[in-house]
Amino acid sequence: MTKKRMLSGIKPTGQLTLGNYIGALSKFVDYQDEYEMIAFIANLHCITNPQDPEELHKNLKDCVAMYLACGLDPNKATIFLQSDIMEHAQLGYIMCCHTYMGELNRMTQFKDKCAKGEKNLTGGLYTYPSLMAADILLYDPDFVPVGEDQKQHVELTRDLANRFNNRYKDLFKVPTPLVPKVGARIMSLSDPTKKMSKSEESNKGCIYLLDTPKQARKKIMSAVTDSLNQVKYDPENQPGVSNLMQIMSSLTNKSMEQIEEEYAGKGYGDFKRGVADVVVERLEEIQSKYNEIINSNLIEETLAEGARKASSIAKPKLQLVQQRLGMEIIR
């Protein structure tokens, strides 16, 4: 039986975070045996904001190394750099021509930035959900594993797939977003009402996969909690504690009940130390592999082979789309 296909990507505008790992990357690794996994590095999405070229280049390389260090196996998964496959940009433009401005206006990421009064927002940022739809539909995946914040974009992708299928006969598989039950939205440690994010102004609330054990431990020990002094899963009334429980549960597979039992009658100090131990142990595992990979040829080899495999799917797909739209003369 052929395996179902799964596709996802990460946009490394900065260092990857524990949120990226728990909400997305660790899931790619879990799925790579059961599914045909395609995982790419979304570098076209990185440049929707101004980037320092040297830093961007470093972040891209780090991201590939992190994919591998976290356990993605290039012999199982297809791992590639988005801009190595021209078809993304080309189908992205075609998608853009089929996306209504009303739909783009409703996308929360753009809306939030506008609401904050951010200046000089680019056209690329505005239309990025159309490019993301192209990233997905080019490969006809069955599932798209993402964290909570990307679900809206996958819903738009479904709408676009249906729109194309109605206008141009069945062209695309309509993909299903896969959002994890636990860990789909890891919150900032310094403000548990906000998502843990690499673009956070202060670094205190965000754990990076390359943080030293000391840095990570310090951030967890100073995480904002509450004055109830009970380890209980209650995101509404105890968002900080519940967030730490999500982190612990995701990394250990313990249920919320098990964690509550383990820390019944103990203070937040003990609980935070427990969370820090689990996080630091995982970071150390990842970092020791990362250090082996970052200066090896494995990065280039993985990307070259990944681009070859991705291209063999993307090229004929784009050709089919252009034919159906009546755009081609020479085939």
Interacting residues toward ligand TYM by CB under 6 A: 8-11, 19-20, 22-24, 42, 45, 132, 135-136, 144, 146-147, 149-150, 184-186, 195-196
DSSP letters of 298-323? HHHHHHHHHHHHHHHHHHHHHHHHHH
Active-site residue, 198 included: yes
**Which entry of 11, 27, 61, 195 is annotated as an active-site residue?**
195
**Which entry of 58, 76, 173, 198 is annotated as an active-site residue?**
198
186: closest CA among 235, 260, 247, 259? 247
Active-site residue, 169 included: no
Angle in degrees, CA 159, 186, 238, rounded to 5 = 120
Strand order in the sheet with 143-145: 78-81, 36-41, 5-10, 143-145, 176-178
When CB distances to ligand TYM are compared, the closest residue is 23
Active-site residue, 76 included: no
Rounded (10°) angle between helices 128-137 and 87-96: 120
Task: Count the neighbouring beta carbons within 10 Å of the beta carbon of residue 203.
Answer: 14
Q: How far is the CB of 7 from ligand TYM (least distance, A)?
A: 6
**Which entry of 113, 151, 173, 204 is annotated as an active-site residue?**
113
9: closest CA among 107, 111, 83, 109? 83
What stretch of H or E contains 274?
helix 268-293
Q: How far is the CB of 326 from ligand TYM (least distance, A)?
A: 27
Exposure on the CB side of residue 55, measured as CA atoms within 13 A: 9
The DSSP call for residue 189 is S
Q: How far is the CB of 88 from ligand TYM (least distance, A)?
A: 9
Q: How far is the CB of 267 from ligand TYM (least distance, A)?
A: 26
Q: How far is the CB of 330 from ligand TYM (least distance, A)?
A: 31
Q: Which residues are catalytic?
A: 113, 195, 198
